[in-house]
Amino acid sequence: MHSESHTPTNGPAPTPVKIVIAGGFGVGKTTFVGTVSEIEPLNTEKAMTRLSEGVDHRGAASLKSTTTVAMDFGKAALSRSHMLYLFGTPGQDRFGFMWDDLVRGSLGAIVLVDAQRLDQCYPAVDYFEHRSTPFIVAVNQFDGQAEPDLDQVRWALDMSEETPIVSVDARDLPSVKLALMALLGRTLARARAKAAAAA
């Protein structure tokens, strides 16, 4: 594990908080992890032989020349006692076998979506719904796109009111922090509901 020189070596190790950044091809997962991470993020980018295969040519994804083949990894201190670990999934379906390992032990997930290619996020939404993993949907604001209508996104995804849908700019730290807060809020609400049901 990476250890910064200014990190005291005594005292208890910070509690890890693991969050997964998921979604379809080219929706900004690697960018999101890089924005949050205080260390140089670990990327597993590989050049694509054919540009944006299978993507209709709208939005930033059409300009991509690389794609994540294993995962993204970044970390940031939340406080003295909590360390955030972010794992970004590969976007292409053929790397789907990675997901179980990436998601194990996570507090929850952010499903990033491009409002112009909503269908790309269905596998991720299905995945987290089936596993009852707390998640939120974050609509990434790409250049040249109109402000997304979040109610319309909710309707299109047939998503219950319980699941927050927020808009985000994956390149902007204050914006991604808000998305992370929304996920933590959702995770807490789920934990409270479970505790109440068990009481």
Ligand X SMILES: Nc1nc2c(ncn2[C@@H]2O[C@H](COP(=O)(O)OP(=O)(O)OP(=O)(O)O)[C@@H](O)[C@H]2O)c(=O)[nH]1
Rounded to the nearest 10 degrees, what angle do helices 173-198 and 29-36 cross at?
Answer: 90
Residues 98-127 that bind ligand X (CB under 6 A): none
Closer to Mg ion by CB, 30 or 106: give it: 30
142: Cβ–Cβ under 8 A, 6 or more apart, which residues?
28, 59, 60, 114, 116
Degrees (nearest 5) of the Cα angle 56, 61, 63?
Answer: 100
Selected from 37, 67, 106, 187, the binder of ligand X by CB under 6 A is 67
Closer to ligand X by CB, 53 or 162: give it: 53
Q: At its nearest, how many Å lie between ligand X and the CB of residue 59? A: 8
The one-letter amino acid code at 146 reads: A
Q: At its nearest, how many Å lie between Mg ion and the CB of residue 174? A: 22
Say whether 143 sits in a helix, a strand or coil: coil
Stretch that binds ligand X, among 77-85, 124-132, 168-176, 177-185 (CB under 6 A): 168-176
What are the tokens at 25? Answer: 């091809």
| Residue 28 binding ligand X, by CB under 6 A | yes
Torsion angles phi and psi, residue 14, rounded to 5: -65, 145
60 binds, among Mg ion, ligand X, none (CB under 5 to 8 A by kind): ligand X
Give CA–CA dist 17/119, Å, rounded.
29
| Residue 68 binding ligand X, by CB under 6 A | yes
| Residue 64 binding ligand X, by CB under 6 A | yes
Provide the binding-site residues for ligand X, judged by CB under 6 A: 25-31, 60-61, 63-64, 67-68, 90-91, 140-143, 169-171
